[in-house]
Amino acid sequence: MKKRLGLLTLTTASLLIAACANTSTDDASQASGDDVEKNIQVTVNGELASLDSVSSTDTPSQTTIANVMEGLYRPADNGSNELGVAAEEPTISEDGLVYTFKIRDDANWSNGDPVTAEDFVYTFKKTVNPDTLGGNANKFYMIKNAQSIANGEGDVDTLGVKAIDDKTLEITLEQATPYFTDILAAPYYLPENHTVATELGSEYGTSAENTVYNGPYAVTDWNATEIEWTTTKNEEYWDVENVDIDQIKWVMSKENSTNVNLFEGGDLQYTEITTPYVQQYADSESLHVEPKGMIGSLEFNTTRTPTDNVHLHRAISQAFDRQAFVDAILADGSIPAGGWIPASFAANPETGEDFREENGTLTTFDVEAAQEEWALALEELGTDTLELELLTSDTDTSKATSEFLQAELQKNLPGLTITVRNVPLKSRQAITATKDFDIVYGTYTPSYADPTAFLDYFITDSPLSSGDFTDPTYDAYIEAAKTTDALDPAARWEDFLAAEKYLVQEAAPVVPIYQGAYASLIDPNLENVINQPNGVSQYYRAATYEVTE
């Protein structure tokens, strides 16, 4: 292990992490040979909010759930997905609408129950049922009747999913969707044990004990008030013999300096970092930088004045320097966002040209244009000054981002005052749910690589949008891509190009800031951690760890 760096001060978080880490390291070092326990400790930058795959939308929760639950497919080490609890690839009807899956006979839950087709039926219905509506319900709209059910216009029992028998699942789609199987490893498509979840009701997923697991690991230590949790190898998992790591301690830690010192001391095996540590470790074998299909952005609350004003949206979008931001604040491999859809995410089905290159840079730093829009906004609002609140989480990156934007916007838009509210992630989500905000900063990383993964975020009634944006022109572009142009790849592509231009340049309810990257410090003894650009990060099923004294 590396030598521990000297610390002049230790935060409460660092003491907590160190204490937990030392316990697991000591336990591991007591064994030898084949009996060595392979225990690691990793960080995440937010709390675990819930283990209910239906209600969870935050990254820490979805990352954890992806490691303890398994769907029909699971993340693979090449950035794609492979069969999970599905025994074989599905049979697909000639019209591309009906998929029939066989579930593995040896797939079990951590309590010994077999994984059944009814588990998927239950979970999918729970997601679109208006009484239990999931935060990612819109991702199910490709399934027959899902959207009408979610909108309260249909019976949940008409959802296009049914159990033919215990191990045969049939899914019927609204229209042919070529990328359908690509999304089935996503956290929101992971099943729940229907017997346990039904019995527990709203208590399901609120603690380690109130959840059962069918993935590589099981949560063995967590309740909703804790900022750390443990996942332990799930002995009931069908592929447990290929799971190398015995235990993972997850700790919420938002301070990069603390994490770096603990990593150097051997108390962490994985932690994400930002500037200045990316530069500091540029020549280290421990530094890993990988692209993300993620966009960091501002979103306006369009349900109230003044943040429903389109000129205000356009003014703010052009009033700060994205290149200066990624260079000075992130410096982790992130790049300025040219639009809502990131680079290297989707390609023209006929020419292969990257979506971002073809649609161009839709928003740039232009103070003159920003001030023209600003003047129009103030005129329409009947005022000379405006005070707005910027809501963010309280991570180091979020704090630095809010400070940068506050300074830039106030400098370039005379009469604008930006106040900043940094709160824990759970609080930020609760605040946006009540619409008690002006502008919110956050990040979004979809789980499959199709333009709909980003563009569906802003369709009317999308459960993902914090600002409740609704616009019939925008909706029409997306509807055309999904219906009349669904089987015409070229026309579908043109719908997406037009939709993004309208979203970013005209209505502008979102201000794309940057496309992210994973910059992590990883113990050289820890290998094969899967970080998917458009899917799960920190996926440990295939990871290996060599314990050293």
Name which of 12-16, 142-146, 431-435 the model is least confident about: 12-16
Rounded Cα–Cα distance for residues 412 and 91 (Å) = 58
Rounded Cα–Cα distance for residues 224 and 190 (Å) = 21
**How large a percentage of the chain has pLDDT more than 90?**
74
Q: Is the pLDDT of residue 13 over 90?
A: no
Is 39-254+523-545's fold the same as 291-517's? no
Q: How confident is the model at residue 486 (pLDDT cuts 50, 70, 90)?
A: confident
**pLDDT score, position 135:** 85
Strand order in the sheet with 168-172: 91-92, 98-102, 168-172, 161-165
The mean per-residue pLDDT over the stretch 513-539 comes to: 90
The mean per-residue pLDDT over the stretch 164-180 comes to: 93
* CB within 8 Å of 259: residues ≥ 6 apart: 43, 253, 268, 271, 272, 273, 521
Q: Is the pLDDT of residue 417 over 80?
A: yes
Which helix (H) or strand (E) segment is 333 a member of? Answer: none
Q: How confident is the model at residue 23 (pLDDT cuts 50, 70, 90)?
A: very low
The mean per-residue pLDDT over the stretch 259-278 comes to: 92
CB atoms within 10 A of CB 391: 26
- For residue 23, what are the CA distances in angstroms to 30, 41, 221, 355? 11, 10, 14, 48
The residue with greater pLDDT, 482 or 169, is 169
**pLDDT score, position 425:** 87
**pLDDT score, position 120:** 98
For the chain, domain boundaries: 39-254+523-545, 291-517
Q: Is the pLDDT of residue 27 over 50?
A: no
Name which of 172-181, 203-212, 356-365 the model is least confident about: 172-181
The mean per-residue pLDDT over the stretch 518-543 comes to: 91
The mean per-residue pLDDT over the stretch 402-420 comes to: 98
Q: How confident is the model at residue 468 (pLDDT cuts 50, 70, 90)?
A: very high
How confident is the prediction for the chain on average, in pLDDT?
Answer: 90
Name which of 340-349, 375-384, 435-444 the model is least confident about: 340-349
Query: What are the pLDDT digits (tens) for 210-247?
Result: 999 999 999 999 988 778 999 999 999 999 999 999 99
Q: Is the pLDDT of residue 18 over 60?
A: no
Is 187 within 8 Å of 65 (Cβ atoms)?
yes
Q: How far apart are the first and last CA of the chain?
A: 7
Q: Is the pLDDT of residue 33 over 60?
A: no
Q: Is the pLDDT of residue 6 over 70?
A: no
If you classify domain 39-254+523-545 with CATH, what class do you get? Answer: alpha beta
**pLDDT score, position 28:** 39
Is 498 within 8 Å of 507 (Cβ atoms)?
no
Q: What single string gives the DSSP state of each residue in 447-484?
A: SS-STHHHHGGGSTT-SS-SS----HHHHHHHHHHHTT
**pLDDT score, position 549:** 67
Name which of 33-47, 300-314, 365-379 the model is least confident about: 33-47
Name which of 181-185, 247-251, 372-376 the model is least confident about: 181-185
Q: Give the residue ranges of DSSP H helices in 382-414.
A: 396-412
**The CATH fold of domain 291-517:** Dipeptide-binding Protein; domain 3 (3.10.105)
At 42, the amino acid letter reads V
Q: How confident is the model at residue 34 (pLDDT cuts 50, 70, 90)?
A: low
Q: Is the pLDDT of residue 300 over 90?
A: yes
- For residue 530, what are the CA distances in angstroms to 74, 76, 388, 536? 11, 8, 40, 8
Q: Give the residue ranges of DSSP H helices in 237-293.
A: 256-264, 277-280
pTM of this structure: 0.72
Rounded Cα–Cα distance for residues 169 and 102 (Å) = 6
**How large a percentage of the chain has pLDDT more than 70?**
93
The mean per-residue pLDDT over the stretch 499-511 comes to: 98
